Amino acid sequence: MQSTDCRFFFQNTPSLLHASNTRPGMSTLNVEHVSKEFPTRHEPLRVLRDVSIELRDGENLAILGPSGSGKSTLLHILGTLDRPTQGAVRFNDQDPFALDEAQLAAFRNRQIGFVFQDHHLLPQCTVLENVLIPTLAFGTTTDEQLDRARRLIDRVGLSQRLDHRPAELSGGERQRVAIARALVLRPQLLLADEPTGNLDHTTAAAVADLLLELQAEEHTMMIVVTHSLALAARLDQRRQLDDGCLVNAQETTPSAGKSEHS
């Protein structure tokens, strides 16, 4: 499939939502006593237990925990991809789960940016087209959105790669594109799932630098799920999932400071 296919989508996608491309002045996230159970043939399997989180504009949080501890389930709930069994999730004192499915999809696209361990770029689209994918929900990509996408691509150091496709990029470059894509609509909340997990040490450090710099510049809230103690140590808050409960994490490094190289 060629790049023209992506341009076709940009030109012909029907409008699904009408919203300003400007973030509200203040963002808050309140997760209140959230629990999640999955039905089984016997008793329900409880994955999350009484999880509470509070974040404000510009704050960030690392969530640590072994595989199977509930990190992915929590991230899905925070991203409104799954609903809690008990408890509430509120953005700016509003419950997104009170929306119907179409409204919730529009909310998710507009207010939440996702960065995955695997970048999930569309292979047939260029760097610029991949960054602009979230704008498809608006029906047409505006000049303002196009300008912001170009500026973000320049900010992540890929201005000379606008017309390249993912197969022509390194792993670190692909993750930089994914970060730009996550931020193009100025989301309230940035969710990163093992954003450096597939990268070598040096590239992981560079991507971590960029992610934290952009989060500070955009003044958005950010939650990072990670196995990396070095990455977690660089975030303002660190919590750990233990048997479905979110507890304070132990100090991860003596210099909880500030370098992925430490």
What is the pLDDT at residue 132? 96
Instruction: Kindly list the distances between the CA atom of residue 162 and the CA atoms of 109, 148, 173, 175, in Å, as whole numbers in the listed order.
Output: 23, 13, 12, 14
- Rounded-to-integer distance, Cα 52 and Cα 180, Å: 29
What is the pLDDT at residue 75? 94
- Rounded-to-integer distance, Cα 247 and Cα 262, Å: 24
Instruction: Tell me the pairing of strands 60-64 and 45-56.
Output: unpaired
Tell me the pLDDT band of 94, cut-offs 50, 70 and 90.
very high
What is the pLDDT at residue 4? 47
In 3D space, the residue among 158, 54, 204, 179 whose CA is nearest the CA of residue 116 turns out to be 179
Sorted by sequence, the CB contacts under 8 Å of residue 101 that are 6+ apart come out as none
Mean of pLDDT over the chain: 86
For residue 8, count CB atoms less than 10 angstroms from its CB and return exposed for 0-12, middle for 13-18, buried for 19 or more: exposed
More confident residue, 251 or 244: 244
More confident residue, 248 or 48: 48
For the stretch 170-212, pLDDT in tens is: 999 999 999 999 999 999 999 999 998 888 999 999 999 999 9
What is the pLDDT at residue 25? 62
For the stretch 158-174, pLDDT in tens is: 999 999 999 999 999 99
List, in order of start, the domains of the chain with CATH numbers.
3-26+58-76+100-248 (3.40.50.300)
At residue 151, what is the residue type? R
Tell me the pLDDT band of 49, cut-offs 50, 70 and 90.
very high
What is the pLDDT at residue 85? 96
- Average pLDDT on 231-244 reads 93
- Rounded-to-integer distance, Cα 223 and Cα 189, Å: 8
Element (H, E) at 56: strand 45-56
Residue 251 has pLDDT above 90, yes or no: no
Q: What percentage of residues in the chain have a pLDDT greater than 90?
A: 70
Full strand arrangement of the beta sheet holding 45-56: 45-56, 28-38, 86-91
Tell me the pTM: 0.85
Instruction: Tell me the pairing of strands 60-64 and 237-242.
Output: parallel
What is the pLDDT at residue 250? 64
What is the pLDDT at residue 6? 65
Tell me the pLDDT band of 245, cut-offs 50, 70 and 90.
very high
